[in-house]
Amino acid sequence: MNWTGKLIEYKSQKRIAVLFAKDPELLLEVRKIDGAKWSPQKVFWHIPDTLENRIKFEIVPDISAPKSEAIAQIEKFRQWLRSKRYSENTVATYCDALKSFLLFYQDKPVSQITNEDVIIYNNQYILKNNLSASYQNQIVNAIKLFFKTVRETKIEIDKIHRPKRIKLLPNVLSKEEIKSILNAHRNLKHRAMLSLIYSCGLRRSELLNLKPADIDSKRGIVIIKQSKGRKDRIAPLSTKILEILREYYTYYKPKIWLFEGQISGTTYSEKSLQSILKQALHKTNIQKPVTLHWLRHSYATHLLENGTDLRYIQELLGHSSSKTTEIYTHVSTKNLQQIKSPFDDL
């Protein structure tokens, strides 16, 4: 966000002035912040002086050594992550998570932070603000990785505990629901994009990063390059999707990316792709909160129900661990349908 925060005293109250150039999107974001108010006299928006807002705007009570150290440490960590070839998305995620933790202990040198401080942070910031277990786990990942790079530390990395994970089953659609979603669009590009996600079990980013050359029709495969974890993998190319892609390619003639935006040579936006699915759901009157990732979950589950070995599904999805793939055994209905309920005998 292209905004800055500044500590002020407004009508005898401690507040944070939010300064930004005239921008409708930024204005909308500021208005969403609890307690945000506009000052006609001062000509700026101001928000409550809370720890959450200070972290959001990288503000500390005084511009002193603790903040300078925290910002410097975050920058060093950023460079270390890049040198290890982490993706920019991962770098941004870890650095934002670490920023939240280090600014919480702004008055404490990094070398003096202990495991007890991590527990206090979890209770006084994560739990107090009702933040999710997945966000807490993200923080733990960042802390563990960061303190591996710190020479002088009191932290015992192996003793930093993680939150207990909530075991959620993946959301899966029936084949009938999938068919109605994929056939909802008359627009050839929209139909091709959703169909390719399902037919190959692709992640959203994997679809948008495909190039025409990644569709190998002679070998009957789709080559997915540098996906999550910087891994390449291949997926079988269905003859049915190949026909759709050939028709699409003939009509649109993409230059660089398989699916390009309105300007030739640019990638299709994630927001527009999500909108395509939303439109399809509206047309089919499916009321479930379906996301693009549901198509990938459905692909894996339908493969399992068709008798595909779990090890192959793991490879097709690009999972590092078989445990990640095993969750689909809990949503497959193939064996459950063979079980007769005692209710039927009553």
| Residues assigned a catalytic role | 203, 228, 293, 296, 319, 328
**Dihedral Cα 151, 154, 156, 160, nearest 10 deg:** -110
Check the CA dihedral 77-78-84-86 and report its sign.
positive
Q: How far apart, in Å, are the Cα atoms of 211 and each of 207, 249, 254, 276?
A: 9, 11, 9, 20
**Pick from 48, 63, 298: which is nearest to 172 by CA?**
298
Contact 224, 202 (CB under 8 A): yes
Laid out side by side, the sheet with 221-224 consists of: 215-216, 221-224, 233-236
What does DSSP assign to residue 336?
G
Per-residue tokens: 189 = 């590009």
What is the enclosing helix (H) or strand (E) of 179?
helix 175-182
CA 318 to chain centre: 17
Contacts of 191 (CB under 8 A, 6+ apart): 182, 183, 185, 244
